[in-house]
Amino acid sequence: MTEIATANRRLSPGAKAYLGFFARYGTIIGLIAMIVAFSILSPRAFPTVGNFTNVLNQASLAMIIAAGLTLAVVVGELDLSIGFAASLHGILVTGLIVSNQLPIPIAIVIVLTVGGLVGLINGLIVTKIRVNSVIATLGVGTILTGLAFAYSAGVPIVAGVPEAFLQLSLGRWLFGIPNNILVMAVVLGGLWLLVERTSLGQEIQAVGGNPAAARLSGINVDRIKILGFVISGVCAALTGILLASRLGSGTASAADGYLLTAFAAVFLGSATLRDGEFHVLGTLIGALIIAFCFNGLNIFGAPTFSQFILQGAILIVAVGLSSLGRAISES
């Protein structure tokens, strides 16, 4: 008790205001500074409409999965199954189309439903059996990886993927905007509306802010938490589908890497505009930062190993900024 009291030194008002500004707008300033710097260093390759569209297109999948994850963290839980789930869903959708000859829309609906079910299972394990969400979703995610290998027998499903399915990700059906960007915009817009502007969103935020108070206010906390996992699961499925379409194949563990990217985006986002609070708009900005970072590295031809180092560093900085923001809002 005393240890905590001494560790939680009061910040002076000046330092608090300065740090608060840094924590809230630091990520956005960083994003702008990065774009300016890359534009100066590589004026021909970087600041072009083509490149920006490309970055956004590439980042759309990460943004969708990260936005889903945002819902899980807003209700106060973590979902580590999303990367593995997206990999499985990629295999599943190609398998249903190629092996089972299902029409593409039906295959997509089935996979999205499976994604929701995975989320439901995560949510039930966490709320009813009371398993810590880190463990629960790590376990479920690992099981999903096993299922992915079982379903594909370890071999990527490549042959016979119809062109129409590829066009899902590669096409530009509206005003020449890549489909991925359109889907991303719809998903993020919808989730933003849900969390920020609906009564359900208020309940979601209350559960994340103080589950005990939410419960005593008459909110069904378990149901809201399960909803967070289901949304996270559906978004993971959508990412898996779009990735399979972009790659033209279903490959086990193809989407595993999205897990780290999504977490980095979500935590960077929580340090954006608000003091350590997770929100959809923040996640979008977080994902943009990461996307431009890697785009810059690619343009300058940085070696592959540097990407891993950067990814890890971003994650740590993101969580650090996020907890700094929270410390400021609580002091």
- Which of 81-89, 149-157, 158-166, 193-201 is the region at the interface with another protein (rule: CB under 8 A)? 193-201
Cβ atoms of 187 and 242 within 8 Å: the answer is no
- Contacting residue, 7, 12, 14, 199, with another protein by CB under 8 A: 199
At closest approach, how far in Å is the CB of 256 from another protein? 34
Which amino acid is it at 235? C
Pairwise CA distance, residues 97 & 165, whole Å: 9
Residues, the chain: 331
Count of CB atoms within 10 A of residue 166's CB?
16
- Show Cβ contacts of residue 39 under 8 Å, excluding neighbours closer than 6 positions: 46, 47
- Which of 7-15, 66-74, 109-117, 202-210 is the region at the interface with another protein (rule: CB under 8 A)? 202-210
Select 45 or 219, whichever has its Cβ closest to another protein: 219
Q: Does 129 bind another protein (CB under 8 A)?
A: no
Count of CB atoms within 10 A of residue 81's CB?
30
At closest approach, how far in Å is the CB of 15 from another protein? 18
* Degrees, nearest 5: CA angle 316-238-306: 30
Angle between the N-to-C axes of helices 104-127 and 133-152, in degrees from 0 to 180, rounded to the nearest 10:
150
Q: Does 272 bind another protein (CB under 8 A)?
A: no
At closest approach, how far in Å is the CB of 216 from another protein? 5
- Contacting residue, 8, 48, 100, 217, with another protein by CB under 8 A: 217
At closest approach, how far in Å is the CB of 273 from another protein? 14
Q: Does 216 bind another protein (CB under 8 A)?
A: yes
Pairwise CA distance, residues 254 & 259, whole Å: 11
Q: Does 206 bind another protein (CB under 8 A)?
A: yes
**Separation in Å, CA 331 to CA 2, 270, 273:** 16, 17, 18
Binding residues for another protein, total number by CB under 8 A: 26
Query: What is the binding site for another protein (CB under 8 A)?
Result: 1-2, 193, 197-200, 202-203, 205-206, 209-210, 212-220, 275, 277, 329-330
